[in-house]
A and B are shown apart, each in its own frame.
Chain A
Amino acid sequence: MLHIIAFYLFAALVIASGAMTILSRNPVHSVLWLILAFFNAAGLMVLVGAEFIAMLLVIVYVGAVAVLFLFVVMMLNIDFAELRAGFVKNAPLGVVIALVLVCELVLGLGAYRAGIIELGTPSGEVLLGQTNIAQIGELLYGRYLFLFESAGIILLVAMIGAIVLTHREQRSARGHQNIAKQNARRPEEATELKQPVSGQGVEL
């Protein structure tokens, strides 16, 4: 009973906040609704017993990705009149996308009516009495080690690519800061104490 109430609560909130994400005019509100949607999706994950995935969803999407979204969107200075201006021009494209989505919905509903898809039985032995994390770890680092490592390498390549694309050599343009050198500076080398005789001034 409790499970069902919780499920419908989370599911309804996911759908509602997902809808609000596209409906709200203000992009910052959109991102905040999106965060609520992520959060409730994590709640759904907890309900099916995948608490590890739920926590990762919150840490990665809510904690990192959405913060960056919000960071960028907050800086935008949005002119709402300009947003509405392109409506007539973009309307045909919008109608096409809407049609595609309607077709997918109808097909999906039809397929659902026709009965569930046989996904096959899980081929690995079910490790009862182990925690979520231990099971995922055993699979990722045991059976799917090669795939997992390749995914890691692909990500590494993507990361290096992004760094290469955005990296600019700044050393020549501005003075380069050498932290170690700055920290090693002592008052004795940086300052000099002079005792000028009155009326004579100081040689620098």
Chain B
Amino acid sequence: MTATFIEWGMDSGWAMIVSAIIGSLLIALPLMLAVAMIIYVDRKVWASINLRRGPNVVGPFGLLQSFADGLKVMLQETIIPSAANKGIFLIAPVVTFTVALAAWAVIPFDAGVVLADINVGLLYILAISSLSVYGVVMSGWASNSKYPFFSAMRASAQMISYEVSIGFILVCVVLYAGSFNLSAIVEAQKGHGFGIINGYWFNLLLFPIWVMFFISALAETQRVPFDLTEAESELVAGYQTEYSSMSFALFWLGEYANILLMCSLNTLLFWGGWLPPLDIPVLYYVPGIIWFLLKTFFFFFMFSWVMATVPRYRYDQLMRLGWKVFLPLSLFFVVAISGWLMFTRYGVAA
């Protein structure tokens, strides 16, 4: 895109800035639309699992429900508690939302369709996801109220715990792919299983890693069964309790953008990204982005499936799972996988 702008007679610096802005908008706006629709999907899936109808009034099949909700939220009054720390109280939802969007910069939707094809892509995602805890912590502290504060403390402990095991899980994938670049990781999965299956999931060493990644992703995005930060029976709505209007909506959007991000990471790291499931020439006629979106959508379905079926964990169980089960297991797999690769790929005597 930069080259086109230079052709139009722009300075190379300006061309870069303009193309970066347009590229960001090209990702952010469809993402917001996707979030609105995915909230609808989420509610429909829970409804059908609970034998309810779900949203079915606004628009055909209730398709416009999220937009109606958005309109309602925009028209509400923004209430700032008098005891709140105003600046931080207002910045917190912005931080959550911005961070949730920023991570999408390195996600490749198809071969070469990526805003920033940097060679530390995976580390960038890890860095950004470690930032997302700040929105929660800041909102919890700034609300100056008990429930949000408890929620903020829970959130920070939970996200630090699961980030450690996610880090080791990503190391396993990186060891196999030999790169931190997400596009390269996807390309490395081509024909991984018997030369015909695209994806790292078809591997005895990586499949357990994928299961752990899926569960850690649930914990990282604070979805059921790990949604202790907004456990409504104990904490009202957790860190969002004092928020209203658009500041509440920003949390909501950021949360779902994060969930979609984790689903797409699942797709990219273990299920072959934009590659078709099988390495058969006919399947390549379907555009890569369709495969990518289908897989992401499938994982989102799994997220809502879990939400509708699994009861919430207790806090000590959550901590135990993170530190005493996932951390040793993922560490073991890092050692096992590097040993296996040393044995098979690089040669022992090297």
Q: Interface on B for A, CB 8 Å cutoff?
A: 13, 16-17, 85, 88, 118-120, 123-124, 126-127, 130-131, 133-134, 137-138, 141, 149, 152-153, 156-157, 159-160, 163, 180, 320
Contacts and interface: CB of A to CB of B under 8 A. Distances in A.
Nearest to A71: B156
Contacts of B152: 74
Contacts of B133: 63, 67
B130 A63 contact: yes
Contacts of B163: 63-64
Given A32-B88, A32-B138, A179-B320, A62 B127 contact: yes
Given A1-B13, A71-B153, A74-B152, A55 B123 contact: yes
Nearest to B316: A177
B141 A2 contact: no
Given A62-B130, A63-B131, A67-B160, A74 B120 contact: no
Interface in A14-67: 26, 28-29, 32, 35, 42, 51-52, 55-56, 58-59, 62-64, 67
Nearest to B126: A59
Contacts of B16: 2
A145 B154 CA distance: 39
Nearest to A67: B156
Contacts of A64: 130, 160, 163
Contact of B180 (A35, A58, A133, A179): A133
Given A67-B156, A70-B137, A2 B17 contact: yes
Contacts of A133: 119-120, 180
Q: Secondary structure of the A side of the interface?
A: helix
27 contacts: A1-B13, A2-B16, A28-B88, A32-B138, A42-B127, A55-B124, A55-B127, A59-B126, A59-B127, A59-B130, A63-B126, A63-B131, A63-B133, A64-B130, A67-B133, A67-B134, A67-B156, A67-B159, A70-B134, A70-B156, A71-B153, A71-B157, A74-B137, A74-B149, A74-B153, A131-B119, A132-B119
Interface string A156-178: 00000000000000000000000
